[in-house]
Structure 1
Amino acid sequence: MTPDLLQLSYSVADLCRQAGAFIREQVTSFDPSKIESKGLHDMVSYVDKESEKMLVAGLQKLLPEAGFVTEEGTVANSDPSVEYRWIIDPLDGTTNFIHGLPCFAVSVALARGNEPVLGVVYEVSRDECFRGAQGHGAFLNDQPIRVSSAARMDDTLIATGLPFYKFTHLDAYLGILTEYMQHSRGLRRWGSAATDLAYVACGRFDSYFEFNINSYDVAAGILLVREAGGRVTQWLEAGDPVFNREVLATNGHVHNEMQAVMRQHWQPGFQW
């Protein structure tokens, strides 16, 4: 059965707000002693896990036949041959949350195959809910949004994510970063990929790029950018940016210019 994506997006947004309310309640009572480490500089807390359980329970009721791709593994990840999968990051920006920095989000996408067809990013601190469904546009708190109109990279504000645990190809990345610094209005490292993409969708950022990134960080935001009129690809090509661990999202106008810089430093086939 093909779901009604527009109506479904409203219900998913409600679930994300509920999870966000739980996260917001935990800000003042969070116990740092309960932080766990998943790897070098990669942390998780009971807040992440409980938020994910809440989301999974609600999403299973909305679309029982769908599978899951989840960050914290509170439900078994499904076979990729399942037609629809929920892709969930229950707390994107965990490091910000743990350190008391006000940028973290709930991110939920529905993908058909590898293509996101619905996306919700709820930025908790500002109570901003970004919602989109394929063919129906993108919205911020139910108001339509569009990407920016900047036509040159020199006129853009660029978002990125800095490597924090895996430093493969760091020299190539720094080469790209250097040129972007010299040919833009500035770069920002917000600490939440989902929020970065939502901000591209509403025109606050003109572009966002990151490598060694996970599907649950970016799937919902990719849908938002596309529905807001932007373009999202891998760094050097137009392949799948959801599961291939590299994302370039722009307003569309500066996409080719940004890729031209990348081609000077990045090599096709770089492995993670």
Structure 2
Amino acid sequence: MKLLTLNVHGWHEENQLEKIGQLADFINEQQFDVIAMQEVNQTAAEPAVEASSLGHYVAADSDAVIRADNYAYVLLSRLHEAYHWTWIPVHSASHGRFDEGLAILSRTPLNDTVSGHVSTQRIYEHYKTRKVLAVRTAYEGQAVWLANGHFGWWNDDVEPFRPQWDRAEELLAPYQQETILFLGDFNNVAELRDEGYDYMMKQIWQDTYTLAIDKDAGHTVIKSIAGWEGNERPLRIDYIYSNRELLVERSRVALNGHHGAVVSDHFGVMVELKLS
């Protein structure tokens, strides 16, 4: 099973359509089974897309409206394979110009969805409102839940990470009897002790990076970006977790100029693993 997670920084990038094309080329080349994306934006003023034009779309939020420039929708139009997919809005961005959300793409059908707030803040217009999205599908003959999240920072004054993670655990607890793969931008640095990464690792989760037989340095942010202003060192803050120990053959930083073009302010993480 081959997975990719990427904070796409949707519609905040220069030459955005070119970069969507480069991401599509990379996905077409690598043939991922699962793609989780964060900061999947659409312009709030764009017209809505007719349901008949959404392909293998499954609504995880009955109130979600897919608009013409929805980043995931535009990306899907450039993929060779017809992925099953879903998207939820999380909060507005850029003073209401964008709906910012989470998307999951899967080569196999989605047969259940779950989503919910993990932030205390639940006002849509507040940029620190956070949600988690999860879908149920099947690979290699067994059921698997795919979860996607974009979390806050450990010491955030308004929305600290720890209670967000606790709520994510509560949201996913009913599904722990099956394999869960949790992908996303967790905004907590693996190298920092006694903060978010260690807190996550005290729970049931396994980091596929540390399980991987073959891996690289793993860093997905290497400069100052929004949320990490003034950063001057490589950070590992984007992860793919499992709720059980799996055989992970490979973990690689993706879309970093070496494995795929740079298409966002984050690099991605791609992992190859076996579910059984």
Higher strand share: 2
Does TM-score exceed 0.5, indicating one fold?
Answer: no
* Greater RCO, 1 or 2 (C-alpha within 8 Å, sep 6+): 2
User: With structure 2 as the length reference, what TM-score do the two structures score?
Assistant: 0.29
